[in-house]
Amino acid sequence: MANTLYCFGESGNAYKAALALELAGVDWTPRFVDFFKGEARSPEFRAVNPMGEVPVLDADGRILTQSGVIQKWVMDTTGKLAGDDPYEVLRWTIFDNQKVSGMAGPLRFMMNFLPEDKRNADVNAFMAGRLKAALQVLEAELSTRDWLASDSLTCADISCAGYLFYDEPFTFTRADWPAIDAWLTRISETPGWKHPYDLMQRAFG
Domain boundaries, the chain: 3-80+193-199, 86-188
DSSP annotation of 177 reads -
74 — phi, psi (to 5°)?
Answer: -60, -50
Report the CATH number of the 3-80+193-199 domain: 3.40.30.10
Residues 166-201 pLDDT 10s? 999 999 999 999 999 999 999 999 999 999 999 999
CATH 3.40.50.300 fits 86-188, yes or no: no
Of all helices (H) and strands (E), which one includes residue 31? strand 29-32
pTM (two decimals): 0.97
Confidence grade of residue 1 (pLDDT, cut at 50, 70, 90): low
pLDDT at 66: 97
Q: Which of 57, 90, 89 is nearest to 73 (CA)?
A: 57
- Helices 12-23, 101-112: axis angle to 10 degrees equals 120
How far is CA 11 from its chain centroid?
7
Q: Is the pLDDT at 2 greater than 90, yes or no?
A: no
Does residue 5 carry a pLDDT above 70? yes
Separation CA 156–CA 158 (nearest Å): 6
